[in-house]
Homo-oligomer: A and B are copies of this chain.
Amino acid sequence: MHRSRGPRPTLEAVAAHAGVSRATVSRVVNGGAGVRSEVRERVRASVDALGYVPNSAARSLVTRRTGAVAVVIAEPESRVFSDPFFSRQLRGISRELAERDLQLLLMFLEERGDSARVSRYLSAGHVDGVLMFSLHGEEPPLGGAAEEAGLPVVFGGRPGWPGAAADPGLLYVDTDNRGGGRQAVAHLLERGRQRIGVITGPLDQTSALDRLEGARDALAAAGAAPPPALDGRFTAEGGERAMARLLDEEPGLDAVFACSDLMASGAMRTLRARGLRVPADVAVVGYDDLEPASWADPPLTTVRQDVERMGRIMARLLLRRLALEPDEASPSPVVTPAQLVIRQSS
């Protein structure tokens, strides 16, 4: 190993030398998980050639200096607290971390300024790894700051930004949202429903988009036209409003697939207010199978995903990246199944 005599080489210089992305260099420096052995060797050769020294945040990984894991949720705290999805997933994460005596730090990303501040905190070496939720939009969250700081990251939900699908090192846990959407609408078709509307989540999230695609799959397979669809923002109030607009635009609607139980509960409020019976006039199917599904009157047909288990799997993937779990193979993304649960609302 020989060192260059110029200024201290950067991650960028190593990436350019090896002909790979900065994220790939970061991954190799942190153990090489998720990187093909051929690429790993090339990066290591460049690290040696340039005499690159990882920064302190990256080094802290090796020693587990902080004993803490950040959970970053890209939502305002009011939404995080009103949707049982997050509390259930956090329960899975916190149990898994507590078993290894790791501290969970919860942070919210609401506004543009929050992103710079969270990036700064994560980059300053206060945590050993990051779990990141509720991705929106077209860019990697935090501009990739966590990865550049050498922190392993696991995403909740499949990342959707350009290039994400081709990146073999991205780690995430997802459910089969497309399959779930397909089951929901196929069930409504089987029950003889003919004019089915969809209340989606924000379509800049892959989970929302995939559920809608699944609904379209089921209708296409039956030779039917794509459904009318409106965004209910994954909130009860959004579901209430979207249902009202769907009924205004399609008075003959006889079924609705709401892509979360919370939105389904809002939709049922609107149906009740308009004097429409569930399921006699309009059948309703939700998604999640969390508390709002069992509170609903009538109880809600929905698509179950085991949210607490997803949280546990996310934490375990991170632990493997942190090499706290003895493991030979590199960790890879996990997609858990979705399962229709039929109750009275359909």
Residues of A at the B interface (CB closer than 8 Å) are 66-68, 77-78, 80-82, 84, 86-87, 90-91, 94, 98, 101-108, 110-111, 113-114, 117-118, 120-121, 124, 126
Contacts and interface: CB of A to CB of B under 8 A. Distances in A.
Contact of A111 (B78, B86, B98, B120): B98
14 contacts: A66-B124, A67-B117, A67-B120, A68-B121, A68-B126, A77-B90, A78-B91, A81-B87, A82-B87, A94-B108, A94-B110, A98-B114, A101-B113, A105-B107
Contact of A117 (B101, B108, B113, B114): B101
Contacts of A111: 98
Nearest to A84: B81
Contact of A81 (B68, B86, B113, B114): B86
Total copies of the chain: 2
A102 B117 CA distance: 8
Closest 3 CB pairs of A and B: A81-B87, A106-B106, A105-B105
A76 to B, nearest CB: 8
A168 B107 CA distance: 32
Contacts of A82: 87
A245 to B, nearest CB: 24
Contacts of A90: 77, 81
Nearest to A81: B87
A91 B77 contact: yes
B108 A107 contact: no
A114 B111 CA distance: 31
A87 B77 contact: yes
Given A78-B91, A101-B113, 12 more contacts: A66-B124, A66-B126, A68-B126, A78-B87, A94-B110, A98-B111, A98-B114, A103-B107, A103-B121, A104-B108, A105-B107, A106-B106
